[in-house]
Chain A
Amino acid sequence: MNSATNSLRGEQIALSFGGIKVLKGLDVEFRPGEITGLIGPNGAGKTSLFNCLTGAYIPQQGTITYAGHSLDGLSPAARAGKGIVRSFQHVALCPDLTVNENVMMGVARNYSAGWLNAFLPLPRGRKEREEMKRAAEAALTDLGLPDVGDKMPGELPPGMQRLVEIARAVVGKPSVLLLDEPAAGLNNSETRDLMKVLRKLTSTDLVMVVVEHDMDLVMSICDRIYVLNFGEIVALGAPEEVRTNPEVVRIYLGSDDDE
C-alpha cells in the first residue's frame, strides 16, 4: 500500500442549504491504492460530499486537500485538470455526441490543439482526434463494450449508458476517481464486469471512492468503508467490521426502538 501522502483529504467539512445541515463537519481520508466505499441511506450526504470534493459545491467550513495541496477555491474544471474526475448519479452523457465521442471527452483535458485546428483539417487536430478516439475505444473495450462506439447514447440500454459514463471517467487516467452509484441500473452480469474493471483499475497511485447502494459490490471490492447518516460519519472500517457494526445494522435494518 502506498503512503498516505497522495491522499484526498477533507477536514471538518460542513455544508448546509438554508437551515438544513447536509454535512456536519466530516473528516475523511481517501488513500491511493485503495477502493474506499461511501455508503449510507438516501439523504445521508454522500453525493453532497462528492460535490464538495469535485468543487461543484463550496462547503461553508473545512478544507479539502489532495497530495498535501489545498483544493479550496479551485473550480471543478481546475480540479479535473489535477486528475480528479467523477461519474454522476444520473447518467450525464451528451445525446448529440456518439458513445465514442462522449468517452473522448474524458481525455480531452490532456489535449491542447488550438482553434485553427477546430475549424480546418490541420494535421495536429486530426492526430489529436485520432489519439482520443483510440483511447476511448480502448476504454470501452476494457468495460466490455467494444462495438457500441458509433452508436448514440440513446440507442443503448440504461445499464450500458452507465458503463459508458464510467469509461469516460477512467479514460483520462485519473489520479482520483469518484464513482457515484456506478452499479445503478446494471444487471447482475454487468455488475460483475464492473467489479472486475474496478479491481483492474486499482493502482498504487489511484484514489478511488465509490458511492453505492449495492452492498455485495461494496463489500467485495472496497478496502475501507465510510458509513454516513444525516451528514455524519457513523462508522469507518474494513468491510467485515462495517458489516457487523451494530450502528450500521440499525441504520440499514432499523431497530426495535425505532418502531
Chain B
Amino acid sequence: MMQRLRGLGATAAPIWVLTAVLLVLPFTLGGSWTFMLGLCFANSIGVLAVSMLVRYGGEVSIGHTFFTALGAYSVGILDTRYGISLWASVPLALFMGVVFGILFAWPSRNMHGIYLAVTTLALALAVPEIINNLDALTGGYEGLYVATPFVPGIEMELQRYYVALALLLAATFAVARLRLSRQGMAMLLAKTHPAAADAFGARRVWARVAVMGISGGIGAVCGAALAFSGSTVSPGGFTFWQAIFLLVGSVVSFYGLSMPRVLIGGAFVTLVPQLLSASGAWIPVFYGLALLGMILLGHYMPRIQKALAREK
C-alpha cells in the first residue's frame, strides 16, 4: 500500500532532510547556482501542475505555459506598472490560474485523451501572440523586469531563491493534503470509474473542472515563481517548447507529486540544458539521450530493486 501512496502523497522524513539541505544550500553555493536552483524550484512547481493533472484527472496537457504565463505576467505587471510586490501578486496569480483553468475545463469537459491534449496545445500556441498583442501592458518582446523585493532589506539574490523554495514547499504540501481529502479521493474515483463517482454523488464534470482549476492554479504559481526568481518576464519564457519541457519534467519524475519527485522533474527541465550548454550543436542529442536514460532507468528500477533485494 505504502508504495502506491508514495507516488501520490509524501513520506515525511526524506522531505524534512531535503528541505533542511535546500535551506542551507545558498550559503555554500555560488551566486549562479543559487539563481539556477531558484528557477529549478519554480519549474518544479510547473512539473507538479502537469503531474497533478495526470494523476488526478488522467489527462495530459501540452499547454501549461498558458497558466505559467498568466502567473508570471500577474507578478510582472503588478510589479512594474503598480509597484505591488508578491504579497498581492501571488494570490492574484493563483486566483487567475484557477479561474482560467475552470474557464478552459468547462467547454472541454467531455474531451479526453489526445483530443484534450490537442486542445491544450491551442492554449500554448496562443500565449506568445496574446502577450505581444497586449504589449501596452505586457511590454511585448522586451518583457518586464521584476525588481520589487518580497521582504525589503534582504538581499534580492537570496529572496529569489527562498521565495521559489517556499512556494514549492507550499504547493507540494497542499497537493499532499489534497490526496487525503474528500475532494481528492472523489477526483481519483472519477478518473478511474466515472460512473461509480456519479453514483456516489461526486459528479465527473465537477471532478474534471476541479482538477483543471487546481492544476491551472498551481501552473500560475509556477509562473509567479519564475517571474520573481528569474527577474524577467518575456514571451520567450512561455513558448510551446516550454510547455513540452514541463511535460517532459513530469514524465521524467513519473508523475510523482511529492517534493523530491517534482524536483527531479524541475531539475531535468532547468539544469540539464544548463549542464549541456558546453556541447553546442549536440545539446538536443544529449538532452534526448538523458531523457531516454531517465525513462529506461525508471522503467527498470522496480526490477533492479527486486534483484538487489534478492541478493541481500
Contacts and interface: CB of A to CB of B under 8 A. Distances in A.
Interface in A216-258: none
A118 B184 contact: yes
Contact of B200 (A80, A115, A151): A80
Nearest to A76: B198
A67 to B, nearest CB: 18
A88 B201 contact: no
Contact of A80 (B181, B184, B201): B201
Contact of A118 (B181, B188, B198): B181
Contact of A85 (B191, B200, B206): B200
B185 interface: yes
Interface string B154-191: 00000000000000000000100110111111101101
Contact of B177 (A55, A111, A119): A119
Interface string A118-147: 111100010011001000000000000000
B200 A98 contact: no
Contact of B182 (A93, A129, A151): A129
Interface string A47-90: 00000001110000000000000000001110011000110100
A150 B1 contact: yes
Nearest to B194: A92
B196 interface: yes
A97 B199 contact: no
Main secondary structure of the interface of B (DSSP, over half): helix
A95 B192 contact: yes
Contacts of B191: 94, 96
Interface residues of B, number: 30
A152 B181 CA distance: 17
A162 interface: no
A96 B4 contact: yes
Contacts of B188: 94, 96-97
A155 B182 contact: no
B15 to A, nearest CB: 15
A105 B190 CA distance: 11
A88 B192 CA distance: 14
Given A94-B188, A97-B185, A168 B178 contact: no
A148 to B, nearest CB: 10
A98 to B, nearest CB: 6
A149 to B, nearest CB: 10
B55 to A, nearest CB: 8
A123 to B, nearest CB: 13
A104 interface: yes
Interface string A163-205: 0000010001000000000000000000000000000000000
Interface in A97-111: 97-98, 101-102, 104-106, 108-109, 111
B254 to A, nearest CB: 14
B202 interface: yes
B111 interface: no
Nearest to A56: B195
A117 B181 contact: yes
B186 to A, nearest CB: 6
B299 interface: no
A128 to B, nearest CB: 7
Given A96-B192, A105-B189, A119-B174, A80 B199 contact: yes
Q: Most chain-A Cβ atoms within 10 A of its Cβ — which of B177, B185, B201, B202?
A: B201
A128 B4 contact: no
Given A104-B182, A105-B202, A108-B202, 7 more contacts: A77-B203, A80-B201, A97-B185, A98-B1, A113-B182, A119-B177, A120-B174
Interface of A: 54-56, 75-77, 80-81, 85-86, 88, 92-98, 101-102, 104-106, 108-109, 111, 113, 115, 117-121, 125, 128-129, 132, 150-152, 155, 168, 172
10 residue pairs, one from A and one from B, having the closest CB atoms: A109-B201, A118-B181, A92-B196, A76-B198, A80-B201, A92-B193, A119-B174, A77-B203, A94-B189, A96-B188
